[in-house]
């Protein structure tokens, strides 16, 4: 039992039970959700610390509250580490998460109704890049680019043509289901040509960028936005990096433009995560994430799955599963029963509906945090195939579930009691 559960139980047994159940779930399943990870015990402890008791509107040494002796130093440490890790002029570590970080970027550079441009959601973009149900698509005039029909990769000629035609104020690169390397330099050139602010959203790949196993946008982008909890393996939060010339606008947009007091416990957890991400061990970790994703993709291709773009350059594998006679949602649900947790996902040019799409999305950040390697990826590909062939066969799901538990026993998850 974890310290958290044993502390909560006497006060709130009902919640303690749920927390304990979640710990079991995270320990005994193979977590393949591409945006998830396991933080270290140190990050978990810092995030769950007394820093949650504080209020500190403002920035280090420029606060609206007293009692900031330690908070100022913690936030400054976090800022310095973010700047150093990514080689950025300026860092703001206060955004509550990735979506507020992006919203702050709009606030810093746009007026309502301005034209903004991003990768469309169905092609792998994020809601906050101008999709119509998001505030970014409602308050701004969003134009969206896609991927090529033949390669399912981003077509920079299309991006350029659209940018020249629409002259966006803001141009986003990045997304949630892009399995290939993003050419930030090419985006930057297009943005320069049309006079747009170029925002590289590296929420998914921040850990890979930090480790140098994905090209960094920092030299190319006006602003880099990110979450802190995906491949970067920090607490849930957001991060903005920018050139010195944009520092004031970004800081003002985050506070007081969008948010009140920063979440100091999150800042502390992020500071620890950034220190961890600067180590040689993290570099090997990030390289292994990619090796594992490539092994998983290869294992699936071998078994007749249609892996989008044929493979991956990062942590993410997007699979059209309909060639196996099953759709994404029922497969994701069957996999969940079998202890393999992923999400159903649209694939490019998906003929099916977004709530019942053709694909599943897999990621290897969490399994790599447990120390799993290419041998386990082959095993996982095999299980996915077995489940895809018999998604309603309770006996198959139960057998796979048992095998999954056995494997998880050999790979203790960071931050979880064994």
Positions annotated as catalytic residues are 55, 57, 201, 227, 230, 236
User: How is 187-198 classified by DSSP, letter by letter?
Assistant: HHHHHHHHTPEE
The number of beta carbons lying within 10 Å of the beta carbon of residue 328 is: 25
Residue 55 beta carbon to ligand PLP: minimum distance, rounded to whole angstroms: 22
Q: For the segment 355-414, give every residue that binds ligand PLP (CB under 6 A).
A: none
Which 52-111 positions form the footprint of ligand PLP (CB under 6 A)?
97-99, 102
Q: How far apart are CA 401 and CA 403, in angstroms?
A: 6
Q: Cβ 110 to ligand PLP, closest distance in Å?
A: 17
Indicate whether 122 belongs to the interface with ligand PLP (CB under 6 A). Answer: no
Residue 154 binding ligand PLP, by CB under 6 A:
no
List, in sequence order, the alpha helices (H) in 278-393: 280-302, 328-337, 365-369, 374-389
Nearest to 123 by CA among 187, 189, 173: 173
Q: Is 35 in the site for ligand PLP (CB under 6 A)?
A: yes
**Which bin fits 325, alpha (ψ -120 to 50), beta or left (φ > 0)?**
left
Cβ distance to ligand PLP smaller for residue 35 or 365? 35
Least separation in angstroms between CB 181 and ligand PLP: 15
Q: Which stretch binds ligand PLP (CB under 6 A): 21-29, 172-180, 277-285, 313-321?
A: 172-180
Cβ proximity to ligand PLP: between 239 and 334 the closer is 239
229 or 401: CB nearest ligand PLP? 229
Our CB check for ligand PLP shows the closer of 267 and 408 to be 267
Which 182-241 residues touch ligand PLP, going by CB under 6 A? 201, 203-204, 227
Residue of this chain nearest to ligand PLP (CB atom)? 98
358, 152 contact by CB (below 8 A): no
Q: Encoding tokens for residue 283? A: 């570099």
CA nearest to 264, candidates 105, 57, 81, 83 = 57
DSSP string, 227-280: ESSSTT---S-EEEEE-GGGHHHHHHIIIIII-SS--HHHHHHHHHHHHHHTSH
Which residue from 92, 128, 136, 322 is in contact with ligand PLP, where contact means CB under 6 A?
128
Least gap, CB of 97 to ligand PLP (angstroms): 3
Query: Tokens in use for 380?
Result: 């996982």
Phi (first) and psi of residue 75, to 5 degrees: -65, -40
Q: Is 147 in the site for ligand PLP (CB under 6 A)?
A: no
Tokens of 129: 């890049």
Contact present, 344 and 355 (Cβ < 8 Å): no
> Shortest approach of ligand PLP to residue 203 CB, angstroms?
3
Instruction: Pick the closer one to ligand PLP by CB: 314 or 322.
Output: 314
What is the SS3 assignment for 89? coil
CB-nearer residue toward ligand PLP: 121 or 298? 121
The nearest distance, CB 225 to ligand PLP, in angstroms, is 7
Q: Which two tokens stand for residue 186?
A: 């090419």
Task: Please pick, from the candidates 47, 176, 322, 343, the single residue that binds ligand PLP as defined by CB under 6 A.
Answer: 176
Handedness of CA 249, 240, 256, 171 (dihedral sign): positive
Is residue 175 at the binding interface for ligand PLP, with CB under 6 A as the rule?
Answer: yes
Nearer to ligand PLP, 201 or 376 (CB): 201
CB of 174 to ligand PLP, least distance (A): 5
Summarize as ranges the residues that interact with ligand PLP (CB under 6 A).
Answer: 35, 97-99, 102, 126, 128, 174-176, 201, 203-204, 227
């Amino acid at each position: 039992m974890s310290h958290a559960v044993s502390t909560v139980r006497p006060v709130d047994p009902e919640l303690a039970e749920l927390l304990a159940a979640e710990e079991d779930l995270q320990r005994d399943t193979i977590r393949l959700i591409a945006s998830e990870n396991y933080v270290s015990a140190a990050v978990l402890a810092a995030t769950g610390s007394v820093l949650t008791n504080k209020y500190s509107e403002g920035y280090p040494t420029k606060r609206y509250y007293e009692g900031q002796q330690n908070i100022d130093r913690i936030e400054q440490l976090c800022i310095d580490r973010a700047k150093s890790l990514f080689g950025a002029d300026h860092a703001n570590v206060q955004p509550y998460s990735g979506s507020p970080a992006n919203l702050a970027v709009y606030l810093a550079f746009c007026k309502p109704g301005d034209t903004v441009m991003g990768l469309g959601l169905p092609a792998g973009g994020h809601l906050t890049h101008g999709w119509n149900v998001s505030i970014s698509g409602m308050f701004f005039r969003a134009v969206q680019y896609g991927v090529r029909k033949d390669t399912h990769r981003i077509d920079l000629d299309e991006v350029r043509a659209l940018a020249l035609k629409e002259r966006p104020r803001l141009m986003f690169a990045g997304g949630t289901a892009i399995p290939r390397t993003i050419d930030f330099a090419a985006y930057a050139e297009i943005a320069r040509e049309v006079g747009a602010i170029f925002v590289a959203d590296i929420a998914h790949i921040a850990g890979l960028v930090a480790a140098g196993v994905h090209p960094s946008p920092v030299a190319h982008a006006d602003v880099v936005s990110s979450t802190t909890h995906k491949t970067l393996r920090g607490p849930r939060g957001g991060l903005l990096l920018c050139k010195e010339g944009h520092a004031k606008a970004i800081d003002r947009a985050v506070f007081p433009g969008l948010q009140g007091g920063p979440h100091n416990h999150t800042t502390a957890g992020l500071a620890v995560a950034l220190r961890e991400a600067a180590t040689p061990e993290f570099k090997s970790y990030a390289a292994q994430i990619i090796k594992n994703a490539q092994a998983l993709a290869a294992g699936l291709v071998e078994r007749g799955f249609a892996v989008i773009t044929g493979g991956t350059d990062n942590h993410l594998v997007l699979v059209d599963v309909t060639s196996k006679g099953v759709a994404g949602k029922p497969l994701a649900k069957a996999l969940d029963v079998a202890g393999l947790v992923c999400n159903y996902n649209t694939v490019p040019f998906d003929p099916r509906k977004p709530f019942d799409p053709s694909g599943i999305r897999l990621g290897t950040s969490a399994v790599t945090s447990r120390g799993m390697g290419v041998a386990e990826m082959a095993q996982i590909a095999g299980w996915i195939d077995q489940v895809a062939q018999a998604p309603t066969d309770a006996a198959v799901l139960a057998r796979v579930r048992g095998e999954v538990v056995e494997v998880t026993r050999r790979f203790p998850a960071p931050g979880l009691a064994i």
